[in-house]
Amino acid sequence: MEQLQVIRTNQPKHKPNEDELGFGKYFSDHMFVAEYSSEKGWHDSRIIPYGPISLDPSAMVLHYGQEVFEGMKAYRGAEGDIILFRPDMNIRRMNRSCDRLGIPQVEPEWLLQAISKLVEIDHDWIPQRVENSLYIRPFIIATEPCLGVRASQEYKLIIITSPVGAYYSSGLAPVSIYVEDQYVRAVRGGTGEAKTSINYASSIKAQEEAKRQGYSQVLWLDGVEQRYIEEVGSMNVFFKVAGEVITPELNGSILPGVTRDSVIMMLKHWGIPVTERKISVEELFEAHQQGKLEEAFGTGTAAVISPIGAMKWEEQSIEINGGNTGEISGRLYDTITGIQQGKLADPLNWRHLIGKL
Amino acid sequence: MEQLQVIRTNQPKHKPNEDELGFGKYFSDHMFVAEYSSEKGWHDSRIIPYGPISLDPSAMVLHYGQEVFEGMKAYRGAEGDIILFRPDMNIRRMNRSCDRLGIPQVEPEWLLQAISKLVEIDHDWIPQRVENSLYIRPFIIATEPCLGVRASQEYKLIIITSPVGAYYSSGLAPVSIYVEDQYVRAVRGGTGEAKTSINYASSIKAQEEAKRQGYSQVLWLDGVEQRYIEEVGSMNVFFKVAGEVITPELNGSILPGVTRDSVIMMLKHWGIPVTERKISVEELFEAHQQGKLEEAFGTGTAAVISPIGAMKWEEQSIEINGGNTGEISGRLYDTITGIQQGKLADPLNWRHLIGKL
């Protein structure tokens, strides 16, 4: 493994007010960059001041979208530790995404070191408030300057970090969603299970429609029958029906979320029944009619747990748990964020410490 | 409409040998760039020397793939004209693609002027040989530096041009394809009918598999039933069955190709029956068994007409028209390229002249 070159900025930026962080609006002082060529493999790893990158206008990513990314967070632990949450899961998924997109994989240990070193150098950018964190965005883009439709022979791996606020500054706030029956996010045989720009660009139109109709997210149905529930917005989704927690099974078009996996593991750890299986939207609304739909929530790195308080499908609008955060949703949120922030015990060994502050 | 600023290069590049053009490997001396912001709309149009662009590493296109593009060609006419082929079709489609991707549309006349002016300035880059041409690639990318998943508020429109060779330097050469029954290109409700990077990134893996198995392209089936034929590689597809030419009807997941439309119009002009409808892969292979499958060909801007000489589906391999270019395929190729190159009459008024050489 070659030596990592570090060039520190001599113009550190002013840090934003922690009240106004939002999501992905501010970026720290440094970024990690590495290059790939078919001859040299991944090479020229460096941490340099955050700033614009130079791309040929024919760089393949700008035309044929060969790109993968990841999203994870660094937390300021109570004992002064810098904490990552299950980074091995993100790195493994990134390599699976690479495989789907025809992008060369990366050495997991090398990527983890790159992330750790970058966060260490910019540790002042990890917010002070316990509910805030430093969002980490590794991504790979195809950079070969050529308009042929094929896999690029050159890539850039870049890692940037962004101090972000809690999704819910005043506690968990349930959202309203509507069942999308026109647009489709992904289909089996497509790229739904990869974390790639592709799956997000196609959802923007649906998201805008949802907002226009007063909903904050859409519930995605499968692309084949438009009947089975897949995800909510850019999150995985869970339902509690008659005491059992259910989430759509990974079928090739659903993103295998790290928070999704953590929720399943934690529920099992607690002895709460949890099942991964197909769930049709009919079944869900029927369960509601019968008074059995007790909770619904989305899971993702940004929000961790996002309770769903209301749902609309065609002409039916329903309220879930009186529009309030459910008991399990709240408990999962408190527990997972507590582990991430180093406040609670870590029974499943999820924390990865990368240094002391 | 603001004034178009022109800054000419003082370091014109060496032009490549016309034998070695290939596709999209060389770029002319200049490019067109314009910016979009929600306050100003499209602004700051300029033609500048071709060169790298500067993007924030958080530019939305690199994360959520909000991008659209077009592909068209400029030809050196026999009479010294610079000829575009139906540019209004590409511009209209670009605006439809923008709409699907949540990108602000462009004023068609403004874009046509931008293309025309750029080609005029770089007219020396239009290859001399009649079978070569100058490929024109307009594209729009989301440039707002933000990691929120939503429509960008800032964009760049860029036009680059590339001298390209004929796809078939030694005449039309039929290709072999195989029916893809694992990967899916697009599904109704998705982005299949938009010209966006999204649809291409997902196809790279399938394309690599095809090559590995000795086929040059894949035949895409619909995403719902994986039964109906949609496209071939990155082209539309036509079949001649018992004297009738058939092409899959535009169903929302098929790209509405300009060459596709031109082929349909020309066949009608000739009085040859042509139908747009659903075609299942079973129907096609059955037609072959009955000796009725007479020709097959792909259509697209790069190759114009690409005859299909052999096809494989599951365990069945078939040869079409003895593996040779069919009569209609050849006639369409000669006629459409003849019109594009200004050698033949233009009965359907497809040529758009933008100046004299």
**pLDDT tens digits along B214-228:** 999 999 999 999 999
Tell me, what's the pLDDT at B185?
A: 92
Residue type at B133? Answer: S
pLDDT at B78: 81
Packing angle, helices A87-101 and B204-212, rounded to 10: 60
Name the residue type at position A308: I
A201 contacts in chain B (CB < 8 Å): 64-67, 101, 191, 196-198
Instruction: Using the CB atoms, write b or e for A191-211: b if 16+ within 10 Å.
Output: bbbbbbbbbbbbbbbbbeebe
Interface contact flag, A139 B67, Cβ < 8 Å:
no
Q: What mean pLDDT is predicted for residues B205-221?
A: 92
For residue A302, the chain B residue with the least C-alpha distance is B148
Tally C-beta pairs within 8 A across A and B: 203
Which of B55, B160, B184 has its CB closest to that of A58? B160
- Contact flag A200-B65 (C-beta cutoff 8 Å): yes
Distance (Å) from the C-alpha of residue A237 to the closest C-alpha of chain B? 18
A23/B224 touch (CB, cutoff 8 Å), yes or no: no
CB contact under 8 A, B200 and A52: no
In a mutagenesis test of the A interface, which of B46, B67, B197, B205 is the best target, namely the one with the most A β-carbons within 10 Å?
Answer: B197
Q: Which of A62, A147, A158 minimises the CB distance to B162?
A: A147
pLDDT above 90 (res B37): yes
B27, B100, B184 member nearest A205 (Cβ): B100
- Measured between beta carbons, which residues in chain B are less than 8 angstroms from residue A137? 58, 63, 147
d(C-alpha B74, C-alpha B341), whole Å: 9
Q: Distance between CA atoms of A6 and A32, rounded to whole angstroms?
A: 9
CB contact under 8 A, A183 and B189: yes
CB atoms near residue A271 (< 10 Å): 7
Q: Is the pLDDT of residue B173 over 90?
A: no
| Contact list, A184 vs chain B (CB under 8 Å) | 187-190
Nearest of A133, A140, A193, A161 to residue A31 by alpha carbon = A161
Nearest Cβ partner for B57 among A158, A184, A234: A158
Closest chain B residue to A141 measured between Cα atoms? B62
Closest-approach residue (CA) in chain A for B192: A202
Sign of CA dihedral A8, A13, A18, A21: negative
Most B CBs within 10 Å: which of A55, A147, A179, A301, as the mutation test of the B interface?
A147
Contact A101 B23 (CB under 8 A): no
How far is C-alpha B296 from the chain's CA centre?
Answer: 19
Put simply, the answer to whether A66 touches B22 (Cβ < 8 Å) is no
- Mean pLDDT computed over B221-243: 96
**What pLDDT does residue B169 have?**
66
pLDDT at res. A170: 64
Interchain proximity B147–A141, CB inside 8 Å: no
Task: Answer yes or no: are the C-beta atoms of B301 and B73 closer than 8 Å.
Answer: yes
The span from the CA of B189 to the CA of B284, in Å, is 26
| Distance of alpha carbon A67 from alpha carbon A141, whole angstroms | 5
- The H or E element containing residue A340 is helix A327-340
- Residue B245 phi/psi, 5-degree rounding, is -95, 130
| Closest by Cα among A70, A90, A131, A162 to A336 | A131
| pLDDT at residue B67, rounded to an integer | 98
Helix (H) and strand (E) counts in chain B: 8, 19
Residues B229, B238: Cα–Cα separation, whole Å: 10
Tell me, yes or no, if the two domains B5-164 and B175-340 fold the same way.
no
Min distance B220 CA to chain A CA atoms (Å): 11
Contact A207 B150 (CB under 8 A): yes
Would you kindly state where each structural domain of chain B is located, as residue ranges?
Answer: 5-164, 175-340
Amino acid symbol at B4? L
Chain B residues with CB inside 8 Å of A190's CB?
183-184, 186-187, 190, 202, 223
**In the structure, how many helices (H) and strands (E) does chain A have?**
8, 19
Rounded to whole angstroms, the Cα distance separating B65 from A302 reads 19
pLDDT band at B115 (very low <50, low <70, confident <90, very high): very high
* Mean pLDDT computed over B128-146: 96
Q: How far is A53 from chain B (nearest CA, A)?
A: 5
Q: Give one DSSP letter per residue of A29-85, joined into a string.
A: SEEEEEEEETTTEEEEEEEEES--EEE-TTBTHHHH--EEE--EEEEE-TTSEEEEE
Residue A351 Cα, gap to closest chain B Cα (Å): 25
pLDDT in tens, B247-270: 999 999 999 999 999 999 999 999
> CB B101 to CB A190 under 8 A?
no
CATH 3.40.50.2300 describes domain A5-164: no
The predicted-structure confidence for B286-331, as pLDDT tens digits, reads as follows 999 999 999 999 999 999 999 999 999 999 999 999 999 999 999 9
Judge whether residue B85 has pLDDT over 60. yes
- Which of chain B's residues have a Cβ under 8 Å away from the Cβ of A69? 63
Q: A66: nearest CA in chain B?
A: B201
In our burial notation (b when 16+ CB lie closer than 10 A, e otherwise), range A101-136 reads bbbbbbeeebbbbbbbbbbebbbebbbeebebbbbb
Question: For residue range B279-290, what is the model confidence (pLDDT) as tens digits?
Answer: 999 999 999 999
Chain B CA closest to residue A198: B198
**B85 three-state secondary structure:** strand
- Note whether A197 contacts B57, CB cutoff 8 Å: no
Q: Cα dist. B4→A172, B116, B317 in Å?
A: 51, 12, 55
**φ and ψ of B264, to 5 deg:** -60, -45
Residue B1 pLDDT? 56
**For B58, which of A24, A207, A223 is closest by C-beta distance?**
A24
Contact check, Cβ <8 Å, A139/B187 = no
Q: Are B262 and B232 in contact, with CB atoms under 8 Å apart?
A: no
Segment-wise mean pLDDT, segments of 10 residues, chain A, 357 residues: 88 95 96 97 97 98 98 93 97 98 97 98 95 97 96 98 84 89 91 94 92 93 95 96 98 96 98 98 97 98 95 96 96 97 97 90
Which of A54, A61, A63 faces B69 most closely, judged by CB atoms?
A: A63
Whole-angstrom distance, CA of residue A154 vs CA of residue A151: 9
d(CA B133, CA B28): 12
Of A162, A246, A274, A348, the C-alpha closest to B148 is A162
Of A356, A339, A277, nearest in space to A86 by CA:
A339
Sign of the dihedral defined by the CA atoms of residues A62, A63, A66, A70, in that order = positive
Please provide the CATH number assigned to the domain covering B175-340: 3.20.10.10
Cβ of A149 within 8 Å of Cβ of B234? The answer is yes
Looking at residue A169, its pLDDT comes to: 66
The four Cα atoms A175, A176, A181, A182 give a dihedral, to 10 degrees, of -80
Task: Report the pLDDT value the prediction gives residue A160, as an integer from 0 to 100.
Answer: 98
Q: Do B53 and A57 touch (CB under 8 A)?
A: yes
